[in-house]
Chains A and B, each alone.
Chain A
Amino acid sequence: QSALTQPPSASGSPGQSVTISCTGTSSDVGSYDYVSWYQHHPGTAPKLIIYEVTQRPSGVPDRFSGSKSGNTASLTVSGLQAEDEADYYCSSYAGRIQVVFGGGTKLTVL
């Protein structure tokens, strides 16, 4: 069970869009439409922002969207705002009640 691969950093200016990738394998991301994304401001609890690849929990702005192609899932943040600056983690169900997380991406709003 290896960690999902995310770029360590991403950045964009206010108003722009940024996409963060999350690459797994055919045993996790590629096999299940159960990819989640979490926003984490240090010192706080991680917050679920996308589940089941594309679904947003109630209260999450529609500026956040998710997609998947093959073994790679992506999170797109549109209309970047200062408060979007945070660490973002993906996770995937990996069968038999196993979960694997990504290494995290630090998003900087320039």
Chain B
Amino acid sequence: QVQLQESGPGLVRPTQTLSLTCTVSGGSISSGDYYWSWIRQLPGKGLEWIGYIYHSGDTYYNPSLESRVSISIDTSRNQFSLKLTSVPAADTAVYFCARAHYNTGAFDIWGQGTMVTVSS
């Protein structure tokens, strides 16, 4: 059974770079069937899709965050990672990694989420 697990610092200083990693277990990230995504949820708010990476390394980002986001993949470690630069306090959120099947576009497996606070 495939599982996803986020890891990374829970506190980031304003203007710094937020970095998170998602480790995939129970299956291969190299499967061509899935978009590996990052999604966030601001406190008390809804869900915002940040971007995805395909096993080939192709990426697609939400235009609202595109100038500050990069997602990378390490198939040898079965991981993919998020970097969000120049963070303001407004980037404080729970960050989820998730996979979506390319046929349905539905996120069938999610990590538990990790809270990241941007504060000095």
Task: Specify whether A and B are partners.
Answer: no
- Chain A contact residues, CB within 8 Å of chain B: none
